[in-house]
Amino acid sequence: MSIFVTVVVAGRTATSAAATGNCPAGSTLNVVAHEDDDILFQSPDLLHTVQSGRCVRTVYFTAGDNGESQAYWSGRETGVQSAYASMAGVANSWTTTDAGVAGHPIALMTLNGSPGISLMFMRLPDGNMDGSGFPGTGFESLQKLFTGTIATIHTVDGTSSYSKASLESTLLGLMNSFQPDSINTLDYVGSYGDGDHSDHHTVAYLTQQAQAQYATPHGFAGYQGYGIASKVSNVSGTDLTAKTSTFFDYAQFDANTCATAAACAARPEGSWFSRQYTVGTPIPPPTTTTPPPAGSNVARAATVTASSENAADGQTAVKAVDGVVDGYPGDYTKEWATRAGKAGSWLQLTWPSPVTVGSVVLFDRPNTSDQVTAGTLTFSDGSTVAVPALNNAGAGVTVTFASRSTTSLRFTVTGVSASTGNVGLAELQAWQPV
């Protein structure tokens, strides 16, 4: 997992664990819109990250005010402090300072019992579900700022304001200052009016743009919001119990939500507890900056992209290198599957620095309808290696070749069986020579 950091600011930043190198396991910048987006839509990933001992910083773009008074939105800030302390297993005691961003006062709260965990509150106005804003904040919204309807947006506490350009530059500045190795946000793939909150999309769009300009190698992921309610439940057992409990720690301070299982059963929150879905193709953070040892599978250290993927069912490109050889009719969430892809489909691994590869093992999807009957491996130097038909029951097929140094490996499907509907792989391993 990654550490979570969320903020938008330019200029100087306050000293932090991430910035000063006190996060030996790395750091993640996580950008969300409201106080509860992380708990509802990025958990149990967030929960695992906090409990892993990594640094965690979450910055909330808006006050989540819902057009209401300071009493309401300050309560939400208190709620997430309680939730994070609970996740970390320490006392709910925090030290409040200013983030140190020139011209933009931003509250920075650090958890005393676990100082690698901190929260930042930008306190921009909640833009309402459709981006129309609320009367009490002059109908301002992030969507209106992003689309050019308004030129400036003001914080609800009246301490500062942002133009679109200053909001974008401060976010990139924060990335450059904190040097995260992973950046997470909300749904940057969806569109306004698709049923998700307008603030979710705008924050995600801004983050996606900023991380594309951020030069340090890093992972990136977006998490789907309200739309997960219609998807298959994929959070259960201890993860579900912990996620629900964390939300209730928060909810006792939010008068507009539910704070018990019975109360949430009839509300949308009840359906969000048992679900967590990413959008697009999540890019994992770099696992190491040193060459992997001889005889190791280097596939999991690569960024993975594909011609297409079935994100709705969790059959994304990265599942081809998740270390689990499985797929439909077993656990379909552990395989990569295209969307109606046949010959011409491809999966590519890209490494931040050259690796030496001497063999590749390919595991076809284990169902007997979808089968790769021919393929090609292409390396960064343009050289290619032919791939024979893969085992139709999902057993591994090893392709051995003269070892070569490469920064990328693309597997292109050149032939499929007549019954194939959605070609893909249960797993791809790229082995260094011994």
Question: For 308-317, what is each residue's pLDDT tens digit?
Answer: 999 888 899 9
Rounded to an integer, the average pLDDT of 155-178 is 88
Rounded to an integer, the average pLDDT of 376-396 is 94
Rounded to an integer, the average pLDDT of 258-269 is 96
Fold of 28-281: Rossmann fold (3.40.50)
CB atoms within 10 A of CB 81: 22
Q: Are strands 336-337 and 424-431 parallel, antiparallel or unpaired?
A: antiparallel
| Spatial CA neighbour of 207 closest among 70, 76, 423, 60 | 60
| 162, 197 Cβ separation under 8 angstroms | no
User: CA–CA separation, 83 vs 249, rounded Å?
Assistant: 5
User: CA–CA separation, 56 vs 140, rounded Å?
Assistant: 30
Tokens of 82: 């309680």
Chain-wide mean pLDDT for the chain? Answer: 89
| 270, 264 Cβ separation under 8 angstroms | yes
1.10.10.10, 3.50.50.60, 2.60.120.260, 2.60.120.380: which CATH number matches 289-431? 2.60.120.260
Q: Is the pLDDT of residue 352 over 90?
A: no
Q: Is the peptide bond before 329 cis (omega within 30 degrees of 0)?
A: yes
Share above pLDDT 90 across residues of the chain, in percent, rounded to a whole number: 69
pLDDT of the residue at 294: 60
pLDDT of the residue at 402: 94
Tokens of 42: 């990025």
Rounded to an integer, the average pLDDT of 356-376 is 95
pLDDT of the residue at 246: 97
Q: Is the pLDDT of residue 420 over 90?
A: yes
Q: Which of 49-58, 67-76, 347-356 has the highest mean pLDDT?
A: 67-76
| 371, 389 Cβ separation under 8 angstroms | yes
pLDDT band at 19 (very low <50, low <70, confident <90, very high): very low
User: CA–CA separation, 106 vs 76, rounded Å?
Assistant: 16
pLDDT band at 85 (very low <50, low <70, confident <90, very high): very high
Q: Is the pLDDT of residue 263 over 50?
A: yes
| 59, 31 Cβ separation under 8 angstroms | yes
Which range (72-81, 212-221, 333-342) has the least confidence? 212-221
Q: Which of 50-64, 195-209, 387-401 has the highest mean pLDDT?
A: 195-209
Q: Go through the chain and tell me how many residues it has.
A: 434
Rounded to an integer, the average pLDDT of 111-140 is 94
Q: Is the pLDDT of residue 288 over 50?
A: no
Burial 411-431 (b: 16+ CB within 10 A, else e): bbbebbbeebebbbbbbbbbb
Rounded to an integer, the average pLDDT of 12-24 is 46
- The residue ranges of DSSP E strands in 224-371, in sequence order, are 278-283, 303-306, 336-337, 346-364
Give the tens place of pLDDT for each residue, 44-57. 999 888 887 778 88
On the question of a common fold for 28-281 and 289-431, the answer reads no
pLDDT of the residue at 8: 29
pLDDT of the residue at 287: 60
| Spatial CA neighbour of 141 closest among 164, 116, 121, 165 | 164
Rounded to an integer, the average pLDDT of 28-42 is 94
DSSP annotation of 404 reads E
Domain ranges in the chain are 28-281, 289-431
